[in-house]
Amino acid sequence: MEKIVVIGNGMVGYKFCEKLRAAAGKDQFEITVFGEEPHVAYDRVHLSEYFTNPSVEHLEMAPRSWYEENDVKLISGELITSIDRAAKTVTSYKGTTISYDKLVLATGSGAFVPPIKGVEKEGVFVYRTIEDLDAIIAYAKNTKKAAVMGGGLLGLEAAKAMLDLEQETHVIEFAPRLMPRQLDNAGSDSLVSKMEALGINIHMNKNTSNISGNGKMTGMEFADETSLDVEMLVISAGIKPRDELAKTCDLSVGPRGGIVVNDLLQTDDENIFAIGECALHKGMIYGLVAPGYEMADVVVDQLISKREKSFESYDMSTKLKLIGVDVASFGDPFCESTPHKPIIFEDKLEGIYKRINISEDGKTLLGGILVGDAEQYNMLLQVCLNGMALPPNPEDLILGARGGEELGMELPDSAQICSCENVTKGDICKAIVEEGLEDIAAVKTCTKAGTGCGACSPIVADIFNEQMKKMGVTIKKTVCEHFDYSRQELLDIIKVKKIKSYEELLDTVGKGDGCETCRPLVASLLASTWNEMILENGHDSIQDTNDKYLANIQKGGSYSVVPRIPGGEITPDKLIVIGQVAKKYDLYTKITGGQRIDLFGARVDQLPDIWEELINAGFESGHAYGKSLRTVKSCVGSTWCRYGLHDSVSFSIEVEERYRGLRSPHKLKSAVSGCRRECAEAQSKDFGIIATEVGWNLYVCGNGGSNPQHAQLLAGDIDSETCLKYIDRFLMFYIKTAEPLNRTATWLNKLEGGMDYLIDVVVNDSLGIAEDLEKEMQFMVDTYKCEWKEVVNNPELRKKFKHFVNTEIPDPTMKWDEMRGQKKPAEWGFPA
């Protein structure tokens, strides 16, 4: 049996053991691993998660029992201090000596600490191990201001951690920009503004000359004679490969550190390999985990005598994680010495910067930078790595194809999708076909794709869906794992079986205990069918959060209050009431885009009291929280306007009062304009009405929002009564047939036969269902009740509106700031 000794039980050392055990039987190799750290190997890449979840188990690559089960002898807490190459033995500081046939050095690296005066002072830390983090967490309990030296990938991650530890945080960078190895100046500018928005102070062009303080550090001094008072410093100025052991046995090391290896990862001694962050390959240290795993693979390949693989240079594309800001760079981000044509998109308002470098012939993507929005990272990386042909307008790569078409870029089978586990697109497709995999979770388990850092998960899902489509498998539009039915089928079941509650439906045709997808969906179906009070009869636990509290939840957990103001018409007296209520409860007030008034910042326990006052003054719920009718906007119309043909205000009030409270697949909006100048913007609404000389034109399926679409004419020159009749039919038909969360515009776009078919159904009654639709709508109109009125008058329902059940105090963590004389909620999370 061949004796393998591994020095270093870090990420790569562990992966090597795992791969070797997976490739060969236990009787072929005896494996011993030495680790200096007391813990079993842990995931250093996600080390920062330790700040929010200080559990070592959570980070472990595998539990200690894994080593036993796999016959891997782990000796942790023992530093190896010498190697005897002639005798082929290694010896630890405790004097343990053990012999090897093949030795693998996976000693990783340590933090590089620049030789600055005062670095030895108390309060100066590095950021590499769990012990480092424990020390930082303990020290930060007594400090308020911290600095991070180094504005690279790791430094920014450390800075975010300091912010989470409630420190006033500063980043000191020597270069004139952040992440100098990944970003250009404009990219860095964009990142700086994002970091500053998070509350992190950035200082660039700063050369630290001294760390001041007497024993404990109290500040930093810079070469430009400025200084900064901070009580703590985390140094993240680069890494220093751990090559000290290699030096003691005369293996070659590089001038700036690192154990020299060839393409087979052999050191000067063919029986000694070096892998991971300690290895210097072609003058390069790879400070990332994926190339380290690849190196482990290459060595395993040789040990089992396949000798097919050698290590080639590795892609260093990176995406910053954890910090709440999207930053990525790939390929050659600068192309300083390569002729190229850059395409740059910049949105200073949103802090977005994107740059892609296109080859001079316009045929390939050489590299790029993404700041503020890195959604396209995976796709761009693939295009770049695989030298794929570019679309006719390469700018589509970062702007998206305009005109609604898919980009239609198909990846070659050789495209590496998961770099952590080295899985290609071909591997994934093959596994789907050969193993008959039926869902994405199975794909991940079977191929390991997406089980490392997880960054490739979206693209794995795309490949899965694409492959399913190719195999002719139609993915049925079922609601979720609890119901094998579409929304439409569920609605039919509810009607036919007269099902009145979610639990009953789940027991009759569902399985399991439901989830956040099917519960609100069924809630909406029940409400559109039976129109019962949505907080009673067990309906409350299936409502989406806004419906559950009959108010829109806001940052910080407060709610907004929107009384209905039909048609946007309001009396001075009612305006005064709104003002008084807002003043009394200290609510932020704003005129909405829907011609009404929103009062923000109410605590959950204040909601019933606020509504009680509003209802007493004649207001009712505006359903701003529901997937239901929002507003029917109006223009001033013939009453005042010199062009007005009909009284648009009266008609909009009538329309709004008819459909108020109606639950639907998505929200509904409407408007009535008094003439074709269209001041109410009716043609952008789900249903919009415009006065004509002889009556009204009814338009449907318009949409503002993210994909604006003009409404189309359903019927022209009709009288008010016909108009309402058609709207009844139209809305009920939509409610019955739309997929969940599809607005009317999306619904129409998918409706076979399109507008002509819709006109046939609604106007010509081609399906013979018009009367039923009208009846069903009339039922909804007749059973309408203001939900808030019911809550205000029902002590049992009122009880639900409190933060704690065992004390009357409100949520003590709510925090407010001030802006232009009104309050506003404190920024998301992480209070400074």
Partner 1 sequence: MSEVLEYKTVKTEEVTNWFKAASEDAFPANGGAAIEYKGLQIAVYNFTRRNEWYATQNLCPHKHQMILSRGMLGTEGEEPKVACPFHKKTFSLKNGTNLNGTECELATYPVKVEDGFVYVGFAD
Ligand X SMILES: Cc1cc2nc3c(=O)[nH]c(=O)nc-3n(C[C@H](O)[C@H](O)[C@H](O)COP(=O)(O)OP(=O)(O)OC[C@H]3O[C@@H](n4cnc5c(N)ncnc54)[C@H](O)[C@@H]3O)c2cc1C
Q: How far is the CB of 679 from partner 1 (least distance, A)?
A: 37
Task: Enumerate residues 6+ apart whose C-beta is below 8 A from 410.
Answer: none
Q: Of 597, 618, 692, 711, which is closest to residue 648 (Cα–Cα)? A: 692
* Eight-class DSSP state of 743: -
Nearer of residues 286 and 651 to ligand SRM, judged by Cβ: 651
When asked if residue 43 is in the footprint of partner 1 (CB under 8 A), the reply is no
Q: Of 364, 343, 363, which is closest to residue 354 (Cα–Cα)? A: 343
Nearer of residues 640 and 804 to partner 1, judged by Cβ: 804
Residue 806 contact partner, candidates ligand X, ligand SRM, partner 1, none, CB within 5 to 8 A by sort of partner: partner 1
When asked if residue 547 is in the footprint of ligand SRM (CB under 6 A), the reply is no
Residue 444 contact partner, candidates ligand X, partner 1, ligand SRM, none, CB within 5 to 8 A by sort of partner: none
When asked if residue 663 is in the footprint of ligand SRM (CB under 6 A), the reply is no
Residue 154 contact partner, candidates ligand X, ligand SRM, partner 1, none, CB within 5 to 8 A by sort of partner: ligand X
Identify the residue among 20, 72, 104, 106 touching ligand X (CB under 6 A). 106
Report yes or no: 664 and 735 within 8 Å, Cβ to Cβ: yes
The span from the CA of 370 to the CA of 359, in Å, is 18
Identify the residue among 364, 552, 621, 673 touching ligand SRM (CB under 6 A). 552
- How would DSSP label each residue in 581-640? HHHHTT-EEEE-TTSSEEEEEE-GGGHHHHHHHHHHTT--B--TTSSBEEEEEE---TTT
Identify the residue among 235, 272, 289, 369 touching ligand X (CB under 6 A). 289
The residue behind tokens 């191929």 is 447
Residue 519 contact partner, candidates ligand SRM, ligand X, partner 1, none, CB within 5 to 8 A by sort of partner: partner 1
When asked if residue 168 is in the footprint of ligand X (CB under 6 A), the reply is no
Report yes or no: 33 and 107 within 8 Å, Cβ to Cβ: no
Binding positions for ligand X, 107-126, rule CB under 6 A: 107-109
Q: Which residues pair with 260 in a beta bridge?
A: 280
Report yes or no: 242 and 110 within 8 Å, Cβ to Cβ: yes
- How would DSSP label each residue in 648-682? HHHHHHHHHHHHTT-B-SS-EEEEEESSTT-TT-G
When asked if residue 47 is in the footprint of ligand X (CB under 6 A), the reply is yes
When asked if residue 12 is in the footprint of ligand X (CB under 6 A), the reply is yes
When asked if residue 62 is in the footprint of ligand X (CB under 6 A), the reply is no
When asked if residue 8 is in the footprint of ligand X (CB under 6 A), the reply is yes
When asked if residue 19 is in the footprint of ligand X (CB under 6 A), the reply is no
Q: Which stretch binds partner 1 (CB under 8 A): 171-179, 194-202, 356-364, 804-812?
A: 804-812
When asked if residue 481 is in the footprint of partner 1 (CB under 8 A), the reply is yes
Long-range contacts of 128-137 (CB under 8 A, 24+ apart): 128/44, 129/37, 130/37, 130/39, 130/42, 130/47, 130/50, 130/56, 130/59, 131/37, 133/47, 133/50, 133/51, 133/54, 134/54, 136/161, 136/165, 136/232, 136/234, 137/51, 137/54, 137/165
Q: Which helix (H) or strand (E) holds 689?
A: strand 687-691
Report yes or no: 316 and 286 within 8 Å, Cβ to Cβ: yes
Binding positions for partner 1, 538-557, rule CB under 8 A: 538, 540-542, 544-545, 548-549, 553, 555-557
* Strand runs labelled E in 175-302: 200-203, 208-212, 219-222, 227-229, 232-235, 239-241, 259-261, 272-274, 279-281, 284-285
Task: Enumerate residues 6+ apart whose C-beta is below 8 A from 658.
Answer: 724, 781
Residue 592 contact partner, candidates ligand SRM, partner 1, ligand X, none, CB within 5 to 8 A by sort of partner: ligand SRM
Identify the residue among 36, 173, 427, 776 touching ligand X (CB under 6 A). 36
When asked if residue 598 is in the footprint of ligand SRM (CB under 6 A), the reply is yes
The span from the CA of 216 to the CA of 231, in Å, is 8
Q: How far is the CB of 217 from ligand X (least distance, A)?
A: 22
When asked if residue 814 is in the footprint of ligand X (CB under 6 A), the reply is no
Identify the residue among 4, 5, 6, 7 touching ligand X (CB under 6 A). 7
When asked if residue 458 is in the footprint of ligand SRM (CB under 6 A), the reply is no
Comparing every residue's Cβ against ligand X, the nearest one is 10
Q: How far is the CB of 797 from ligand SRM (least distance, A)?
A: 22
Identify the residue among 706, 764, 806, 807 touching ligand SRM (CB under 6 A). 706
Residue 560 contact partner, candidates ligand X, ligand SRM, partner 1, none, CB within 5 to 8 A by sort of partner: ligand SRM
- How would DSSP label each residue in 542-593? GS-HHHHTTSEE-GGG-EEE-B--GGG---HHHHHHHHHHHHHTT-EEEE-T
When asked if residue 594 is in the footprint of ligand X (CB under 6 A), the reply is no
Nearer of residues 382 and 703 to ligand SRM, judged by Cβ: 703
Binding positions for ligand X, 490-549, rule CB under 6 A: none
| Sign of the alpha-carbon dihedral angle for 322, 326, 331, 334 | negative
Identify the residue among 49, 132, 221, 678 touching partner 1 (CB under 8 A). 49
When asked if residue 516 is in the footprint of partner 1 (CB under 8 A), the reply is yes
When asked if residue 44 is in the footprint of ligand X (CB under 6 A), the reply is yes
Binding positions for ligand X, 75-104, rule CB under 6 A: 79-80
Q: Of 754, 659, 658, which is closest to residue 701 (Cα–Cα)? A: 754
Nearer of residues 1 and 805 to partner 1, judged by Cβ: 805
The span from the CA of 579 to the CA of 570, in Å, is 13
When asked if residue 294 is in the footprint of ligand X (CB under 6 A), the reply is no
When asked if residue 267 is in the footprint of ligand X (CB under 6 A), the reply is no
Identify the residue among 554, 737, 742, 794 touching ligand SRM (CB under 6 A). 554
What is the C-alpha radius of gyration for the chain, rounded to an integer number of angstroms?
33
Environment class of 809 (CB within 10 Å of its CB; exposed 0-12, middle 13-18, buried 19+): exposed
When asked if residue 631 is in the footprint of ligand SRM (CB under 6 A), the reply is yes
Identify the residue among 4, 17, 237, 290 touching ligand X (CB under 6 A). 290
Long-range contacts of 351-359 (CB under 8 A, 24+ apart): 351/190, 351/193, 351/194, 351/197, 352/190, 353/186, 353/187, 353/189, 353/190, 354/398, 355/184, 355/186, 355/187, 356/380, 356/394, 356/397, 356/398, 357/331, 357/332, 357/333, 358/390, 358/394
Q: How far is the CB of 512 from partner 1 (least distance, A)?
A: 5
- Distances in whole angstroms, Cα of residue 421 to Cα of each of 279, 452, 531: 20, 7, 52
**Binding track over 221-240 against ligand SRM, x by CB under 6 A:** --------------------
* Eight-class DSSP state of 277: G
Identify the residue among 592, 712, 749, 794 touching ligand SRM (CB under 6 A). 592
Q: How far is the CB of 463 from partner 1 (least distance, A)?
A: 19
When asked if residue 590 is in the footprint of ligand SRM (CB under 6 A), the reply is yes
When asked if residue 166 is in the footprint of partner 1 (CB under 8 A), the reply is yes
Nearer of residues 523 and 745 to partner 1, judged by Cβ: 523
The span from the CA of 271 to the CA of 548, in Å, is 67
Q: How far is the CB of 245 from ligand X (least distance, A)?
A: 5
The span from the CA of 528 to the CA of 664, in Å, is 6
Identify the residue among 629, 703, 734, 788 touching ligand SRM (CB under 6 A). 703
- Residues engaged in binding ligand SRM (CB under 6 A): 552, 554, 560, 562, 590, 592-594, 596, 598, 624, 630-631, 667, 669, 703-706, 743
- Residues engaged in binding ligand X (CB under 6 A): 7-13, 34-37, 44-45, 47-48, 79-80, 106-109, 127-128, 154, 157, 242, 245, 276-277, 287-290, 292, 321
- Residues engaged in binding partner 1 (CB under 8 A): 49, 51-54, 58, 137, 140-141, 164-166, 454, 481-482, 503, 512-516, 519-520, 538, 540-542, 544-545, 548-549, 553, 555-557, 800, 803-807, 809, 811, 813, 828-831
